Structure 1
Amino acid sequence: MPFLAVMVSGGCTATADKVPPETSKQPFRAEFGERGFATILNAPPAEFTAVLPSDPPSRTAEQIAADEQFQRVADFQGRVSDEVAELSRRLEREERGNYVSVYYDNEGDPSVVFQFLRDGPGTLRKYTRHPRFFGKTVRWSMEQMQTDAQWMWETFREDRVLQSTGIAANHVTAEVVVSEEEFRALVARKGVTIPEPVNLKFRAAPIVPLINPPRPAARDEAVPAAVAPHIRIFPRHDRPAGSVNAIGSRAKIVLEDGCFRAANHDDALVLFPFGARLFVDAQNYLAFGREETPGYARVGETVVFMGSIYEVTEPVLVGPIHAACGPGKVIKVEGLESADARDRQQASDNEVNALRRLRESYGLDEA
């Protein structure tokens, strides 16, 4: 059997092992103004070596069983989807005010559940005898649940305590990002009552304080003590991001006179993601994170993340930034991974995967 000899480039960026003498006495590499505030317009990416992807592991019994269940569900839905759609349309016409919704139950032997406000099993039997179609009696109409979900957002929008809402089988789920104690106190202060169909979930992690605005660098635990005198503010969002758009974004983050800006987005001021931190790396560059983990980014280079870049306007977030840095547009970045490191890793992954596909297609041995 022929074999294929390959060499995959790991991809690395070289940086100096030693800090130049002229910067060794500085708290970090930057230009410092008369008032001590730092400016960093460019920085080389940190050293990075791409990790070669390993061969896919053998599938476990649980994974095989899950695949088989997925196939059963897909086959079942493929057989009945047209019938379900037609029956649902008929129920909407003939059971108006009683019919609520339909969903697939994919646990065990797959089935379809049609929900009604009154006598679910008996109502469904008037229209079908399919052995895997079941009628269920529920309390709330779809209109009621949609109204209650919208009420939650309208009532608590300014407080920014909701991470998400969703309509499940017959209730509204509301994910709350503050503690239950703080949320209940907020509800009491507003003098409102949570609608009965709403199930509150306090599983959003991490739980955050109700009031948690950006603060000056000198009083910010995310900023090293030696760095704090040289930046005006390191503003982070006060809530976890939750779901973000499935789109890759990039921003070059620079520091100008102690203020963080996005150089490739009209020099807009920057709001960083919840939980972001600063540190000084071994080469004396100011960087994002806690330590030199693979792919960390330095201030002055381009970062990459999943999610759209958007303008932030909430006064509690932009107010402290404007107070420290003056007026201007503020944008949110959702992550702080080095774009250079991501590109190198992606190139390495693409090369390795292309070679694997070649071996699999032609039956070649790996040298």
Structure 2
Amino acid sequence: MRCFIIVAVFALAACGPANPPVGNSVTSPPVAASSVAPEGASIGPEGHATVVTAPPDPDAVRKAADDPHVPDKSVYHFYAAENGLSLEEARRRLDAQQAKMDEVTRLRERLQREEGDNFLDLRLAHQPDWRYIFYFKREPEATLSRYTRDPRFEAASGTLSSDERAALIEPWAERWSSEGIPYAYGLGATRPDLEVSLSITAADYQALAEKNGWPAPPAPIVTHFAKAPTLPAVDPRVEPLLKGYAYGRFATGIQLEALGAGTVTLEDGCLTVGRGEDRKVVVVHQETGISLDEDGYLVFIDRHSGAVRGRIGEPMVWAGPNRTPEQYLVGIERLRARCPGELLNIGNPESAAAFEARYPGATR
């Protein structure tokens, strides 16, 4: 059984709402800053833009409609696709695994009682054929053979128990939390390494480690770092049009999946959602930037691929809620000073029209 621990100082989106962006890509290198108004925008006396409405990109909607999401018909279909099996073979394997569950549970409980710290855990392996693998610290084959000779049960060597792994990671988790770094790791004792995903780039982590005097984590801890975005958060062509732009300091990690919706507008240089008492100032996740699409509309983009997420002024959807402490938002001081109001983190938004085309009925 695998156990995962996931910690985040704030919720982050993977590509909210868990879909690849659609539409044209922003791949051309940035050009010199320009005060030319984007399509559908008006420019105020101080050079800041206002965009109230924009049509969805018809090509993006068509592309999403051509590749609709079709849920797997059953767990058998999923298992077959995951393991390269025919549907019949997937059904045979899953039914056999289910029939074995009571025996597996009884054996596990007996090993926990009689082997103490020698028995670590078990996992279900699927290739080349399915079997249960039981992990022991000492003499795995001889130990398992005292309890069963079932050919579907195999023995393997392990190192640290889940409790030992938790004790090992604890001081490092405290270090990462002190700097607000979201992280995730698995405590399952069936893996040789204790792998940790950190929502920070290797370069930024190294800088923090040097500042705080952190040594390198000991084995078996293995750290994996986030990839830095390749595109700027704000395209230089549109920067003069904005009063501010704030985004997450760290890369995406854990994302709550409630569906948020609203029309993001640009109000005299301030990105907002809602009107009157419902008006909120928009902030986003690290992966979302702002640029121009090929038709001249102001758009949110994916900062890794350059793909357009949606146009400012059209209805959008996003995964949430996203609670990001302000100390972990880049650009928040300038945004706060020039765009007063309650903040709303819309994560990595997407065109509602494209989302609806891919998931018919999802936004109703």
**What's the TM-score, normalizing by structure 2?**
0.69
For 1:135 and 1:112, the matched residues in 2 are separated by 9
Give the counterpart letter for 2:85 in structure 1: D
- Matched with 1:274 is 286
**Aligned with 2:132 (options 81, 90, 112):** 112
* SS across alignment from 1:165: strand
1:190 paired to 2:201: no
**How does 1:231-242 map onto structure 2 within 5 Å?**
231-242=242-253
Task: Give the equivalent residue in structure 2 for 1:335.
Answer: 348
| Contact 1:28/1:280, CA 8 A, preserved across alignment | no
Shift of 1:331: 3.0
Confirm or deny: 8 A CA contact 1:76 1:110 kept in the other structure.
Answer: no
**RMSD of Structure 2 on Structure 1 (CA):** 3.9
Moved over 6 A (4+): 62-65
What SS does structure 2 have at the residue aligned with 1:240? coil
- Contact persistence 1:268–1:328 (CA under 8 A): yes
Match of residue 85 from structure 2 = 67
User: What code does the residue aligned with 2:289 have?
Assistant: R
* 1:79 and 2:99 matched: yes
1:224 to partner: Cα distance? 4.2
Note the C-alpha offset of 1:96: 2.7
CA contact (8 A) 1:50 1:345 kept: no
Q: Summarize deviations over 1:144-164 as a string: whole Å, max 9, x none.
A: 123334443322124355553
CA distance in structure 2 between the partners assigned to 1:182 and 1:221 by the alignment? 17
> How many Å separate the matches in 2 of 1:200 and 1:272?
26
* Deviation readout 1:213-241 (Å, 9 max, x if unpaired): xxxxxxx9443444322211222323332
Match of 1:254 in 2: 265
C-alpha separation between the residues in 2 aligned to 1:129 and 1:257? 74
CA distance in 2, matches of 1:274, 1:322: 16
Change (3 A) 1:341 1:166: same
Deviation of 1:339 after TM superposition, in Å, equals 0.6
Report the 3-state secondary structure (helix = DSSP H, G, I; strand = E; otherwise coil) of the residue aligned with 1:93.
helix
Is residue 201 from structure 1 mapped to residue 224 from structure 2 by the alignment? yes
2:255 aligned residue: 244
State the distance in 2 between where 1:89 and 1:341 align.
50
- For residue 103 of structure 1, give the secondary structure of its aligned residue in structure 2: strand
Q: Contact conserved, 1:177 with 1:207, CA < 8 A, in 2?
A: no
Bigger RCO of structures 1 and 2 (CA < 8 A, at least 6 apart): 2
Q: Offset of 1:208 from its aligned partner?
A: 6.2
Cα distance, 1:348–1:244 mapped onto 2, change above 3 Å: closer
Q: Is the 8 A contact 1:174 1:200 kept in 2?
A: yes
Stretches of structure 1 that go unaligned for 5 or more consecutive residues are 1-23, 57-61, 210-219, 350-367
Tell me, in whole angstroms, the C-alpha distance in 1 between the residues paired with 2:224 and 2:48.
Answer: 43
Aligned to 1:95, the other structure's residue is in SS state helix
User: Could you tell me which residue of structure 2 aligns to residue 12 of structure 1?
Assistant: none
Q: What's the counterpart of residue 313 of structure 1?
A: 325
Counterpart for residue 230 of structure 1: 241
Question: How far apart are 1:270 and its partner, in Å?
Answer: 1.9
Residues 275 and 181 of structure 1, relative CA distance in 2, 3 Å threshold: closer
Offset of 1:71 from its aligned partner? 4.3
Separation in structure 1 between the aligned mates of residue 82 and residue 168 of structure 2, nearest angstrom: 40
Bigger CA radius of gyration? 1
Instruction: Normalising by structure 1, report the TM-score.
Output: 0.68
- State the identity %: 25
Equivalents in 1 of 2:296, 2:158: separation in Å? 63
Residues 101 and 188 of structure 1: CA distance in aligned 2, closer, same or farther (over 3 Å): farther
Distance, in Å, in 1 between the alignment partners of 2:208 and 2:286 is: 22
CA distance in 2, matches of 1:321, 1:345: 37
Query: What SS does the aligned partner of 1:311 have?
Result: coil
Matches within 5 A, 1:129-148: 129-148=149-168
Closer/same/farther in 2, CA of residues 296 and 348 from structure 1, 3 Å limit: same
Q: Given residue 270 of structure 2, which amino acid in structure 1 is its aligned partner? A: C
Partner of residue 110 from structure 2, selected from 71, 79, 90: 90
* Alpha-carbon shift at residue 90 of structure 1 (Å): 2.0
CA pair 277-235 structure 1, distance change in 2 beyond 3 A: same
Alignment partners' CA distance in 1, 2:102 and 2:224: 35
Q: Is the 8 A contact 1:251 1:263 kept in 2?
A: yes
1:84 CA drift (Å): 0.8
From the superposition, tell whether residues 99 and 283 of structure 1 become closer, same or farther in structure 2 (CA, over 3 Å): closer
Structure 1 residue 246 displacement after superposition: 4.2
**C-alpha distance in 2 between matches for 1:272 and 1:298:** 14
How far the C-alpha of 1:322 sits from its partner, in A, is: 4.4
Contact 1:120 1:137 in 2 (8 A): yes
Q: Which amino acid aligns with 1:79?
A: A
